[in-house]
Amino acid sequence: MTSIKTLFAGTSIICTTALGSGLFVIPIVLSNQSLWVAGSILAGYCTVMTIAALVMVEISLRFPKGSNIHSIAREGLGNRGALISGLAFCIVFTFVLYSSLCGLIELVGYLSEHRFNKTIAWILLICFLSFLVMAIGQLDKLGYINAVLWIMVFSLTIFSLFNIQEINYPASSAFQSDSIGKWLIIIPLCQSCFSFHAILPSMVKFFNQDRKTSIASILITMPIVYLIYMVWLFSVREALPASLISEIASNAQSTQELISSMADLLSPFFSAVMYLLYFVVIFTSLVGLSMAAQDFVKDKLSLNESIQSNLISLITIYTVPVLLYFYNDDGFIYGIQISVLGSTFLAILLPTIIAIKSRAAGGHEIEMINGRFLKFLLVFGVLSLLINVMSQVPALQDKKIAIPVNTCIQLLSVNSEHKDLTGTCKD
């Protein structure tokens, strides 16, 4: 039985990994929805992705060797399944790590340009300490670092937003798209906001394959993530006029402008806190993903648990993203696009298929959910994959609808009959 401290550390890692996907995206992509509708949409996806997370925990307990989705697929589906899952894992994680790296470096560059030197110092210190903790393998300490960072910075940011004086902003036409285009934008993004499932095999390993603790971590994580999203959404809407949020949603640099718009209304101290929150959101999510990638590399290279192995795996997983950054330093958009598609395959479809096939072999005491939910997840995953693909089609009903989502630069572009909202990613 794992301790409460281990449960707290593991749950904080899962929470912060999930929150990195959507904190700064949700206020924009749901800008045209009432708070009740937005809350209902997020609650629905929170429920579905909770079920998917329990399925991932189930197959992680059933196939504990390797502690990554590739090794699980090899045991559950054979060599073909392992090949497909391995390629998907490598592609998704490489581009997500690459995009996060681009975002962090761009943020530091922006802060340097605007002379937020103390904020940069904190960012560099946090990066160094987290890298050191991951190298020595003290993942429980990493969980504590993530939790402390989030509690302090998020609380200060919410406090600052509720103390902004009311501002007058001229009314503008709200961001609009046709009904199909609107939901093609909302649906994939809301799903990715609750996606962290690829790290769960590593977390089950962290919990020493303890079934109760693994389940508890999921059941604690999901309500917390949902609550934080709702508090953030409400706070942003209280701080900024609806017309300003709508205008930001129509801008090619929407998420960056959302952060800047809020920071400009704050004192220098709280403005620095806002940018620090932006860093914490990206970085703590990156840390959780790095854990999963480390386990994948150590399994493939047959590395043992040691500081040397941790250093080798860290260097390995960041070599390609760093090379991609030097090739194109404006790559945040690609990782988010890939993660939206990858969340469907790695978080829903693949685990569900493995669970369905492996249940036929017995071991019913490991089962987390009823078989009917597995069939529901399979159908949901297929529909979600189709929607994700449709959202990338350049033309639909004589209109261009795409969701090149970039939590640092460009959120979305929609060409409609009445208004051209297309943006291009620029430095």
DSSP output for 175-200 = P---HHHHHHHHHHHHHHTT--GGGH
Say what percent of the chain tops pLDDT 90.
Answer: 11
Q: What is the pLDDT of residue 23?
A: 82
Give the integer Cα–Cα distance in Å for 28 and 257.
Answer: 11
Using 50, 70 and 90 to split pLDDT, how confident is the model at 177? very low
> Which of the pair, 116 or 373, is modelled with greater confidence?
373
Least confident stretch, 87-101, 102-116, 364-378: 102-116
Residue 408 has pLDDT above 60, yes or no: no
Contact between 346 and 117 (Cβ < 8 Å):
no
Q: What is the pLDDT of residue 416?
A: 34
| Helix (H), strand (E) at residue 77 | helix 69-113
Q: What is the pLDDT of residue 344?
A: 83
- Which of helix, strand or coil describes residue 298? helix
Q: Phi/psi at 2 (nearest 5 deg)?
A: -80, 160
Max mean pLDDT range (21-35, 110-124, 220-234, 352-366):
220-234
Max mean pLDDT range (135-139, 261-265, 351-355, 399-403):
351-355
Give the integer Cα–Cα distance in Å for 111 and 105.
Answer: 10
Question: What residue segments make up the domains of the chain, in order of their start?
Answer: 4-415
On whether the pTM is more than 0.95, the answer is no
1-49 pLDDT, tens digit per residue, is: 457 888 998 999 999 888 876 787 788 778 778 889 889 999 999 999 9
Identity of the amino acid at 118: K
Distances (CA, A) of 318 to 126, 322, 324, 330: 18, 6, 10, 17
Give the integer Cα–Cα distance in Å for 87 and 94.
Answer: 11
Give the integer Cα–Cα distance in Å for 330 and 372.
Answer: 44
What is the CB-side half-sphere exposure of residue 29 using CA atoms within 13 A? Answer: 32
User: What is the overall mean pLDDT for the chain?
Assistant: 76
> Which of the pair, 336 or 96, is modelled with greater confidence?
96
124, with CB counted inside 10 A (0-12, 13-18, 19+), is: exposed
| Helix (H), strand (E) at residue 413 | strand 413-415
Give the integer Cα–Cα distance in Å for 402 and 410.
Answer: 12
Give the integer Cα–Cα distance in Å for 91 and 241.
Answer: 40
Contact between 313 and 297 (Cβ < 8 Å):
yes
Mean pLDDT on 188-216: 87
Count, in order, helices (H) and strands (E) of the chain.
16, 2
Give the integer Cα–Cα distance in Å for 408 and 103.
Answer: 6
Q: What is the pLDDT of residue 330?
A: 65
| Helix (H), strand (E) at residue 415 | strand 413-415
Identity of the amino acid at 2: T
Say what percent of the chain tops pLDDT 70.
Answer: 77
316, with CB counted inside 10 A (0-12, 13-18, 19+), is: middle
Q: What is the pLDDT of residue 69?
A: 81
Give the integer Cα–Cα distance in Å for 289 and 269.
Answer: 30
Instruction: Assess if CATH 1.10.540.10 describes domain 4-415.
Output: no
307-333 pLDDT, tens digit per residue, is: 888 888 888 888 988 888 888 776 665
Q: Which residue, chain included where needed, has tokens 């699980």? A: 72
Give the integer Cα–Cα distance in Å for 156 and 161.
Answer: 9
Q: What is the pLDDT of residue 86?
A: 84
For residue 269, how far is the Cα from the chain centroid?
Answer: 27
Give the integer Cα–Cα distance in Å for 410 and 172.
Answer: 20
Q: What is the pLDDT of residue 218?
A: 94
